[in-house]
Amino acid sequence: MTAEHAAAGRQWRSPGEAYTRALGEALGRVLRAGDVVALVGELGAGKTTFAQGVARGLGVSGYVASPTFTLVREYRGRVGLYHVDLFRIGPEDLGGIGFDELLDSGAAVVVEWADRAPERMPRDCLWVYIHGTGSEVRSLQVTACGPHSRQLLDLWEEEAERAGVGS
C-alpha cells in the first residue's frame, strides 16, 4: 500500500456532549454532497449527538431526532442530508430502505451503527468510532479510507481548530 493510498486517521478526546456536538458541527460545515460518514459506537456512545452537530453544521434548522425507529430521516441543509440508523436492520434489509440509492443520491449521508453492514458502505468513506459510554470521557477515532474522505478529514480538522475544538 503506497502512502497515497494509505488510510489516514485522527483521534479526538471529547469530555462532554457539547464537545461531541461541536466536533460534529465542524464536520457538517465542510461536508460535501455525496460524502458518507459511518458512525460506530456502543448504545449511548454519542452517535446521534454527533449527527445532530453535523446537521447543525450543514445548516439544517430544527431538531434532529434519532432515526432508531424510523431508520432513515431526510433533512435539507446547505446540501441534503440522510440520517440513517442500522441498529434495527440487518444487511439483508438494506434494500428495503433503498440504502444504495441514498448513497448515490448526491446528498450527504450519516449512518449510525455502520458496523452492522460494513461491506455495504462505500470504500472511500469516513469512519468515526466513538469509544466510551455513560459519564465516561469519549474518544473519537476517525479513519479516512480513501482520497476523498482524507480530503474531508483535512477540511474537518481545519474547521474544528477554527471552532476551538479538537486541538
Please tell me whether residue 138 binds ligand ATP under the rule CB under 6 A: yes
Element (H, E) at 28: helix 17-30
Rule CB under 6 A: choose which of 44, 91, 95, 147 binds ligand ATP.
44
Of all residues in the shown chain, the one whose CB is closest to ligand ATP is 46
| CA dist., res. 162 & res. 101, Å (int) | 34
Please tell me whether residue 143 binds ligand ATP under the rule CB under 6 A: no
Residue with Cβ nearer ligand ATP (17 or 154): 17
Residue of 94, 74, 76, 82 whose CA lies nearest to 39: 82
Beta carbons of 144 and 5 less than 8 angstroms apart: no
| CA dist., res. 22 & res. 24, Å (int) | 5
* The three grid cell numbers given for residue 71, joined into one nine-digit string: 431508520
Considering CB distances under 5 to 8 angstroms, the limit depending on partner class, which of Mg ion, ligand ATP, none binds residue 82? none
* The three grid cell numbers given for residue 140, joined into one nine-digit string: 473519537
Q: What are the CA-CA distances from residue 47 to residues 1, 42, 135, 140 (Å)?
A: 31, 9, 15, 10
Segment 34-53, which members bind Mg ion (CB under 5 A)?
47-48
HSE-CB at 8 with a 13 A cutoff on CA atoms is 18
Please tell me whether residue 24 binds ligand ATP under the rule CB under 6 A: no
Q: How far is the CB of 137 from ligand ATP (least distance, A)?
A: 6
Residue with Cβ nearer ligand ATP (112 or 159): 112
Residue with Cβ nearer Mg ion (47 or 148): 47
Q: Which residues of this protein are in contact with Mg ion, per CB under 5 A?
A: 47-48, 66, 112
**Which residues are at the interface with ligand ATP (CB under 6 A)?**
14-17, 19-20, 41, 43-49, 66, 68, 112, 138
